[in-house]
Amino acid sequence: MEKKITISPVTRIEGHARVTIHLNDDGKVESAFFHVDQFRGFEKFSEGRHFSEMPVITERICGICPISHHLASAKATDEIIGVEIPRTAKLLRELIHMGQIIQSHSMHFFELAGPDLILGWDADPKIRNVVGLIQENPELALKAVKLRKFGQRIIELVAGRRIHPTFAVPGGVNSSLSPSARDEILSGIDEMIGYIKEGIKIAEDFIEKNKELCDEFASFPTGYMGLVKEDGSLELYDGKIRFMDKDGNILKEFKPQYYLRYIGERVEDWTYLKFPYYKPLGYPNGVYRVGPLARLNIADKISTPLANEEFKKFKSINNGKPVEGSIYYHYARLIETVYALERAREILEDPEVMSQNVLKMGEVTNEEGVGVVEAPRGTLIHHYWVDERGTIEKVNLIVSTGHNNWAMSKAVEMVAKAFVDGKNLKEGMLNRVEGAIRCYDPCLSCSTHAIGKMPIVVELYDKDGNIIDVIKRD
């Protein structure tokens, strides 16, 4: 008789998920599933709102990565009014985006993934957490907190507050940068680069000591997608979308506005999270990954010197071919953090960043707008349709974590089959399954949405607990 192991909830991620592992009579894993049960209705309840409200509505999808939604939304509204925003506004938007990358990436590596890499997969769950890290290495833990604080401080100084700002608006931003804010951020960058280099040393040491594990742990071929600059270098705020196949060949490059021509979504009945794929290849041949690993795989270089040196090391892992092992997401995440710190300095040293020209007003001129950024977890797409008054008629959000759904599901099954023994079950085995998900740093409260009508069952009970009515919608 088939037996089932359930991991619920999956820990040290944002949002709610569970894993079911199905065993045969010999205790071996037959199959495993990654379930996302929560549903967010932002697309539906945004209908009827004015498009200009969307940057402050959609950022409330999440408290961890609100800046990503804030900026993707603002870019979509720019298209609706048909304006090219002032360069200073673009620089300031990108600056808070770098703050978002710094705070999110550093938090994930040190506080969410770090307990596995630093304390060990099989460490006692009572200490395999951020408290355990503090006990093990209080100096490192303090530096990790300071890194996240620095990223949040960038957002606060530029946008007015750390979470859910009102800074980006259709046509630009609503305030300029002060000299004191510029100087404060600049003064801390070198120290933060030093801290993140310590993280890179931890990651590189782990890889060196566990090379076989890193190469095999949830390692599988997929396509890859992300933004790049015109010269093919890493891009997180703007640029064109590049699709790469599993062998490293570029399949297509296109403007983000044309994403619907190339991205389809498949629905499975065991999760609310959909499965995007590259349309020309179909499903499942067209599945792909996004996020730090994918972005470094598709990029030709990084435009800042320190990050580019680490990028060269990353590219050497598989001799220039795409790096497939999921654990390498952690290493890629740290390299991007170096880039974000260096890029923040470049922006702040640009004389135009202090200009007062931060907003270009406009009226509704286009019936739809698409905004795309590279959120910490991957490519984030906001697409709005409006009427002539600017009232939202339809919204489509494809959130970073959603792109990685197939990969997370595959990672769960691979790791479960490799490590879980139903007749000699140990907690560390199940933690490795969770760790496969943590490689992708999923933000599950961001990522679920519906095609058509959601299936739903409503049960009505009386005061004694008896069912008196049931309403179903398939």
| The residue to which tokens 């679920």 are assigned | 448
Please check the confidence at residue 276 and state whether its pLDDT lies above 80.
yes
Q: What pLDDT sits at residue 455?
A: 47
| The residue to which tokens 């009226």 are assigned | 363
Name, in order, each residue with C-beta under 8 angstroms of 405's C-beta and a sequence gap of 6 or more: 34, 36, 271, 273, 274, 275, 276, 447
Residue 413 lies inside a defined structural domain of this protein: no
Q: Phi and psi at residue 64, in whole multiples of 5°?
A: -90, -45
Residue 20 lies inside a defined structural domain of this protein: no
> Which residues participate in the annotated binding site?
43, 62, 65, 397, 443, 446, 449
Residue 296 lies inside a defined structural domain of this protein: yes
Radius of gyration of the chain (CA): 22
> Which residues participate in the annotated binding site for Mg(2+)?
43, 62, 397, 449
Measured CA to CA, the distance from residue 173 to residue 374 in angstroms comes to 19
Residue 449 lies inside a defined structural domain of this protein: no
Measured CA to CA, the distance from residue 287 to residue 224 in angstroms comes to 8
Please check the confidence at residue 446 and state whether its pLDDT lies above 70.
no
Beta strand residue intervals within 229-302, DSSP E: 240-244, 250-254, 263-266, 275-278, 288-289
> Which residues participate in the annotated binding site for Fe cation?
65, 446
Q: What pLDDT sits at residue 461?
A: 59
Q: What pLDDT sits at residue 12?
A: 82
Does an H or E element contain 141, and which? helix 138-159
Residue 350 lies inside a defined structural domain of this protein: yes
Please provide the average confidence, as pLDDT, over all residues in the chain.
93
Beta strand residue intervals within 174-244, DSSP E: 223-228, 240-244
The SS3 of residue 110 is helix
Question: With DSSP H G I counted as helix, E B as strand and the rest as coil, what are the percentages for the chain, rounded to 5?
Answer: 45, 20, 35
State the DSSP string of 5-38.
EEE-SPPSSBS--EEEEEE-TTS-EEEEEEE---
Give mean pLDDT, residues 176-182.
98
The torsion of the CA quartet 206, 211, 212, 218, rounded to 10 degrees, works out to: 60
Q: What pLDDT sits at residue 452?
A: 43
Summarize pLDDT for 392-433 with one digit per residue, the tens.
Answer: 999 999 999 999 999 999 999 999 999 999 889 999 999 999
Please check the confidence at residue 458 and state whether its pLDDT lies above 90.
no
Of the chain, the percentage scoring pLDDT greater than 70 comes to: 93
CA proximity to 299, closest of 402, 377, 225, 215: 225
Summarize pLDDT for 43-66 with one digit per residue, the tens.
Answer: 898 999 999 999 999 999 887 789
Summarize pLDDT for 216-227 with one digit per residue, the tens.
Answer: 999 999 999 999
CA proximity to 65, closest of 37, 92, 104, 28: 104
> Which residues participate in the annotated binding site for Ni(2+)?
65, 443
pLDDT band per the 50, 70, 90 thresholds, residue 86:
very high
Range of the domain at 243: 39-403
Residue 10 lies inside a defined structural domain of this protein: no
Please check the confidence at residue 473 and state whether its pLDDT lies above 60.
no
Contact 306, 338 (CB under 8 A): yes
Q: What pLDDT sits at residue 254?
A: 98
Residue 411 lies inside a defined structural domain of this protein: no
The gap from C-alpha 326 to its chain's centroid, in whole angstroms, comes to 14
The CA-atom distances, in angstroms, between 269 and each of 15, 20, 38, 275 are: 20, 14, 14, 11
Better-scored residue on pLDDT, 443 or 134: 134
Q: What pLDDT sits at residue 57?
A: 95
Please check the confidence at residue 247 and state whether its pLDDT lies above 80.
yes
Domain tally for the chain? 1
User: Domain containing 277 — which CATH number?
Assistant: 1.10.645.10
